[in-house]
Amino acid sequence: MEVNTIQIRQRGVITLPARLRQRHNLEPGDTLTLIDLDGTFLVTPKVSLVPKLAAEIECLRQEAGLSMEDLSSATDGADPLACG
């Protein structure tokens, strides 16, 4: 665990220390989530749900031994919003 002191600047801007940005591959424009736990702030990189879901689907597809053609033929003509 590493503790850092940061300062709130004009317009509420804070700067994360460079070594933290480098260690966690944070780039300008990256989105972070700020959670207020009754005055204790937790800041975490916001991870897009789509890539995580895509990776999980790919793992499940491989485990099941299915090809991309198997998946696409199984959904031909199906309602894309219907489950099951």
Q: Taking the model in full, what pTM does it have?
A: 0.51
For strands 32-37 and 40-45, give the pairing: antiparallel
Residue found by looking up tokens 């489950």 in the block:
83
CATH no. for 10-45 = 2.10.260
Contact criterion met (CB below 8 Å) for 38 and 45: no
pLDDT tens digit string along 56-66? 888 998 999 98
Q: What is the structure's pLDDT at 67?
A: 86
